[in-house]
Structure 1
Amino acid sequence: MTETETIYATEVTELGPEVAEFLEADLMILFAEGAPPELAEISVNHRPSEKREAPPVPGDVLVIQDHELRITAIGEKAWSNVLQLGHAVFKFNGASEVELPGEIYIEEPNGLDLTELVVPGARIEIRTEVSG
């Protein structure tokens, strides 16, 4: 039996004025509440509720509300940014190698409208499957 374990869980609290443009370009930038104003403008501001030290790996799942998208690549600095700042850069491009060390790549959303999913109150999680 396969179960899931939550690696990271957070709730969207506010969207910066430029977020919709980024989401339409399949890019989501998270920043925990209290981000500097210039970063808050482009960020999905959020309040983390759960996080583990060990980073996710390709094959783990990003869940936005009830929609699951697989992680395809994760940069070497991405997880420390998440743990220290609540900061993450998600690109929904399905690539298997990251261009920058702070990025996390996710499979393409294939028709999902990220601007409808990423709204205040939305829950965002990263999960991994564990064998039971």
Structure 2
Amino acid sequence: MPENMKTIYENKVKSIGSLANTFLEEKMFILFGTEAPQDLKDFCYNIDVVNADGEIQAGHKLYINNEKFEITSIGNLVQRNLTTLGHITLRFDGSTIPELPGTLYLENKEIPAIELGTELKIVNE
């Protein structure tokens, strides 16, 4: 990763719900902090709730481990939900208009395997 980039958000997958992979076929997956409601836990990749160091914006990059994805648009609740609940949906369809308030839209690329310890990082390059 370039040295002049600023890391805005950093986290790791702590646990994986039994049905979390269900949405990968639809080019999306769900993150939720450790306080996820029981009925949603199975569908989520669980992360710690951590603060962001700045505002997440279109054009920033999301790294899943070392694989880079451009952020194409951001629902208006993504920043708040991510930093208070650890809960957002990531959709890999390249949308430039955010249809859903809690969804982070990324370029249309294949999603890499997400496992325990997978690093998630949002950076401004």
**1:49 Cα deviation after fit:** 5.4
Q: Is the 8 Å Cα contact of residues 11 and 48 (structure 1) preserved in structure 2?
A: no
Q: Is the 8 Å Cα contact of residues 90 and 105 (structure 1) preserved in structure 2?
A: yes
Q: C-alpha separation between the residues in 1 aligned to 2:70 and 2:10?
A: 16
| Unaligned residue ranges in structure 2 (runs of 5+) | none
Quote the residue 2:116 is aligned against: 120
- For residues 8-54 of structure 1, give each alpha carbon's deviation from its aligned partner in whole angstroms, at most 9, with x where no partner exists: 111101111111121222111101112111111111101255622x3
- Output the aligned Cα RMSD: 1.7
Name the one with the larger strand percent. 1
Structure 2 length-normalised TM: 0.90
* Structure 1 position 63 matched with structure 2 position 58: no
Tell me how many residue pairs correspond in the alignment.
124
Q: C-alpha separation between the residues in 2 aligned to 1:69 and 1:4?
A: 15
Q: Percent identity?
A: 30
Q: C-alpha separation between the residues in 1 aligned to 2:25 and 2:98?
A: 20
| Unaligned residue ranges in structure 1 (runs of 5+) | none
Provide the secondary structure at the position in 1 that maps to 2:120: strand
Q: C-alpha separation between the residues in 2 aligned to 1:38 and 1:80?
A: 22
Provide the secondary structure at the position in 2 that maps to 1:51: coil
Q: Is the 8 Å Cα contact of residues 64 and 122 (structure 1) preserved in structure 2?
A: yes
Alignment of 1:1-132 (within 5 A): 3-48=4-49, 51-52=52-53, 54-109=54-109, 112-114=110-112, 116=113, 118-129=114-125
Q: Is the 8 Å Cα contact of residues 51 and 83 (structure 2) preserved in structure 1?
A: no
